[in-house]
A and B are shown apart, each in its own frame.
Chain A
Amino acid sequence: MRNIKYLIMGTLFGVILYKSEVISWFRIQEMFRFQALHMYGVIGSAVLVGALSIYLIKKFNVKSLNGELIEIPNKIVHHGNWIGGILFGMGWALTGACPGPLYTHLGAGSSVMIVALFSALLGTWVYSYYRPKLPH
């Protein structure tokens, strides 16, 4: 099945999120208090590697394994980037988790986080409902 490879890559990502302690509420508090390098180091070095990869992919017109040319679309700039961004940041500081960590918590056994995940699904649904009326 074609999609098994994504299950495997997701598993790797979940392991990394857990082992790096990025899913720790305490680490996120450290980050928002500017009292440790850890989270900045994770995100910063991820961006360096990611940026280099994107640069090389574009420069050498790298193709995916099934022969498609890799194209990276530009993200649309709109008011949601900052309005939604602020709301997301608030949620991140409250739960100590963004979506990736929420999923990781389920696997790692932090059972009450399933409530946070359901709430996040509800939040996405409510956004979808009100989207035509929200400023973009």
Chain B
Amino acid sequence: MLEYISQPWPWYVAGPLIGLMIPMLFIFGNKLFGISSSLRHVCAAIAPANIPFLKYNWQAESWNLFFVAGIVLGGFVAAHWFPNPETVAIASETSSELQALGITEQSGLLPSQIFNWSSLFTLPGFFIIIVGGFLVGFGARYAGGCTSGHAIMGVSGLQRASFVAVAAFFAGGLFITHAVYPLLF
């Protein structure tokens, strides 16, 4: 049994389980599924400064902070007790294209040649980890949600804002992948 769930989960198992998070949060607590707002709550809690957008009753949303603490715990539990195999079985074309960019080490969740502490002091590493992270936090709050809030919750609820957001997510991601990566590596 443990060996079975130690395999990576196929999309048709994982996807529906993710979808079920929506009614689960509604039924157990009447809460909207979303993750990026946690970044705002943390900012409001630790450094609101004189910023109006950060001056609100973040304590009323503390359920979300417990939820994301749970996500950290979930990553820990899964990685330690039923980890995936070392290498993700990605498409061979993707693998070759990444190899051509110089990303030859393809084991693990993240390319080790980029995602390591010393690469933060190189231009590609700084750009990918620090600028990339900044864009995730800035962009998600500006858009009003991330993949969970827009692509899953919003699209499930047929929200126009979310269809727009998802199209924009892809525009940005495609630009980086196809126009920037060939220049960065």
- Give chain A's interface residues, CB within 8 Å of chain B: 3-33, 35-54, 56-57, 62, 64-66, 68, 70, 72-78, 80-100, 102-113, 115-129, 131-132, 134
CB proximity of A133 to chain B, nearest CB, Å: 12
| Inter-subunit contact A75/B43 (CB<8 Å) | no
Point out the residues of chain B lying under 8 angstroms from A122, CB to CB. 134, 137
Q: Which residue of A lies closest to B184 (CB)?
A: A94
- Report if A38-B11 is in contact (Cβ < 8 Å); known contacts: A57-B23, A98-B148, A124-B138: yes
- Contact count band on B: 35 or more
List the count of A-B residue pairs having beta carbons below 8 Å apart: 497
**Contacts A/B (CB < 8 Å), 29 sampled:** A6-B70, A8-B70, A10-B73, A14-B73, A16-B14, A21-B84, A33-B91, A33-B178, A45-B15, A46-B16, A53-B19, A53-B26, A65-B29, A70-B26, A72-B32, A75-B144, A75-B161, A87-B172, A89-B176, A91-B138, A99-B147, A107-B76, A109-B79, A110-B110, A112-B116, A112-B117, A112-B120, A116-B133, A116-B136
In the complex, residue of chain A having the shortest beta-carbon distance to the beta carbon of B34: A99
Contact of B91 among A22, A35, A77, A78 (CB under 8 A): A35
Additional 19 contacts, C-beta under 8 A, given A64-B28, A119-B130: A6-B67, A20-B15, A32-B174, A33-B178, A57-B23, A75-B160, A85-B167, A86-B168, A88-B142, A88-B172, A91-B138, A92-B147, A98-B147, A99-B39, A107-B79, A119-B129, A121-B43, A123-B135, A124-B137
A75 to B76, CA, bound (A): 33
A35–B136 contact, CB under 8 A? no
Are A95 and B133 also in contact (CB < 8 A) when A11-B71, A14-B72, A36-B91 are? yes
Q: Is the CB of A120 within 8 A of B156?
A: no
